[in-house]
């Protein structure tokens, strides 16, 4: 993997200063130095202390990456929403975990992306997942295709600059058109999985807009301003309107929908290499679309 820049500054600048401005960490530079990468100034080996002049070209050749664990490839086809040299966005189906675990070691979304990379013959890169979804939540998941891209995404995530919009079906009727929830979250004592609203917890901010009301549920657009575990699910339950199908937090299953009614509809992020915003949308999957239509007709059971 090779990254190129053409310096456009009027004043000379040291390579290490330029790279710091580009979000290249000391750790990544050390990896380049000691694990097979290269730093080239106008095609020749460069040092961090060398100076760049106007129109100089700097090349960063990243070392080949190896997984820290024995990652098993899964060759289940992916629904690719967007892909370029640096980023991959995938439409995750429900009932597929984002990452491998003890219960699901070989067929998480990461396993599937790894299998996709192998089938495509990609060399020297491994899956770097930047956004995760619960196993039963569907929708857009964002990957960096190399270590540097992932690091730049992480900076955006830490600064809350990645915009994630969800579609959620909340149980019951909601009359308020728009509301903002500022409710801190913490673990439920004795549970590794479950969360609750707790005044001493970590800040959690969720914004909701009512899109449509139905006899048994309300469809809402949801935007996260923080990224806490189960944030939408816990905030919805705290309102007294748990997500349809979310039995962990008081929602009820129906014959038409056997999982929580939550879908990551859209992700917007800044592409640091193309210098523009990228917007990627995943339409409602068939099970949620069917539930919505049958709710509208009053045919649910």
154 is catalytic: no
Say how far apart CA 287 and CA 10 lie, in whole Å.
Answer: 57
Say how far apart CA 3 and CA 147 lie, in whole Å.
Answer: 12
What DSSP character marks residue 247?
Answer: G
CB 124 within 8 A of CB 130: no
CB 142 within 8 A of CB 127: no
Please report, for residues 26, 91, 213, 273, the alpha-carbon distance to residue 151 in angstroms, rounded to integers and kept in the order given.
12, 22, 41, 13
Say how far apart CA 106 and CA 128 lie, in whole Å.
Answer: 16
Of 56, 84, 86, 134, the catalytic one is 134
Judge residue 150's burial from the number of C-beta atoms within 10 Å of its C-beta, 0-12 exposed, 13-18 middle, 19 or more buried. Answer: buried
Please report, for residues 130, 171, 182, 225, 241, the alpha-carbon distance to residue 195 in angstroms, rounded to integers and kept in the order given.
22, 19, 15, 18, 16
Helices (H) and strands (E) in the chain, counts: 6, 18
Question: Which residues are catalytic, by number?
Answer: 134
């Amino acid at each position: 993997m090779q990254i190129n820049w053409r310096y456009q500054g009027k004043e000379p600048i040291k390579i290490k200063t330029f790279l710091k401005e580009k979000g290249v960490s000391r750790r990544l530079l050390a990896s380049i130095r000691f694990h097979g990468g290269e730093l080239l100034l106008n095609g020749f080996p460069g040092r961090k202390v060398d100076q760049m002049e106007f129109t100089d070209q700097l090349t960063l050749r990243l070392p080949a990456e190896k997984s820290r664990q024995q990652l098993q490839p899964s060759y289940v086809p992916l629904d690719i929403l967007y892909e370029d040299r640096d980023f991959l966005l995938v439409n995750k189906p429900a009932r597929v975990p984002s990452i491998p675990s003890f219960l699901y070691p070989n067929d998480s979304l990461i396993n599937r992306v790894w299998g996709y990379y192998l089938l495509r013959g990609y060399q020297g890169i491994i899956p770097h997942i930047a956004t995760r979804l619960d196993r039963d939540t569907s929708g857009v998941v964002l990957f960096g295709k190399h270590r540097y891209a992932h690091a730049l995404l992480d900076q955006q995530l830490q600064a809350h600059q990645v915009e994630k919009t969800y579609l959620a079906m909340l149980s019951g009727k909601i009359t308020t058109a728009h509301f903002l929830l500022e409710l801190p979250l913490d673990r439920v004592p004795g549970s590794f999985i479950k969360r609750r609203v707790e005044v001493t917890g970590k800040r959690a901010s969720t914004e909701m807009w009512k899109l449509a009301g139905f006899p048994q549920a309300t469809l809402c657009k949801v935007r996260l301003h923080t990224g806490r575990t189960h944030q939408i699910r816990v905030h919805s339950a705290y309102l007294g309107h748990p997500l349809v199908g979310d039995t962990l937090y008081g929602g009820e299953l129906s014959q038409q929908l056997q999982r929580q009614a939550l879908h990551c509809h859209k992700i917007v992020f800044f592409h640091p290499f193309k210098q523009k915003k990228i917007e990627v949308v995943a339409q409602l999957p068939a099970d949620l679309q069917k539930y919505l239509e049958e709710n509208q007709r009053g045919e649910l059971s």
